[in-house]
């Protein structure tokens, strides 16, 4: 099972998950990363687990 959003190939730090989401919705990847880190620091949001699940579910970037 995959979600139809691709990970970023050119703008990735770890797996390209946050940059891929930002590219899909035309957001600035730097702001998306900062928001994700701030959300991950709150006790209500399991940031690492969500990141790993998205890493597994998102499509790989094109190899072109």
Say if residues 34 and 28 touch (Cβ distance below 8 Å).
no
Helix (H) or strand (E) holding 26: none
Residue 5 backbone dihedrals phi, psi, to 5 degrees: -110, 130
Per-residue pLDDT tens digits for 5-61: 888 888 888 888 999 999 999 999 999 999 999 999 988 888 888 889 999 999 888
Q: Is residue 64 part of a domain?
A: no
pLDDT score recorded for residue 64: 54
Per-residue pLDDT tens digits for 9-20: 888 888 889 999
The domain total for the chain is 1
Q: Is residue 43 part of a domain?
A: yes
Domain range for 54 is 3-59
pTM of the predicted model as reported, rounded to 2 decimal places: 0.80
* 38 token code pair: 């701030």
């Amino acid at each position: 099972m995959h979600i139809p959003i691709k990970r970023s190939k050119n703008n990735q730090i770890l797996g390209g998950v946050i940059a891929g989401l930002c590219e899909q919705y035309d957001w600035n990847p730097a702001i998306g990363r900062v928001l994700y880190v701030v959300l991950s620091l709150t006790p209500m949001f399991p940031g690492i687990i969500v990141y790993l699940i998205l890493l597994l579910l998102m499509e790989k970037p094109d190899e072109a």
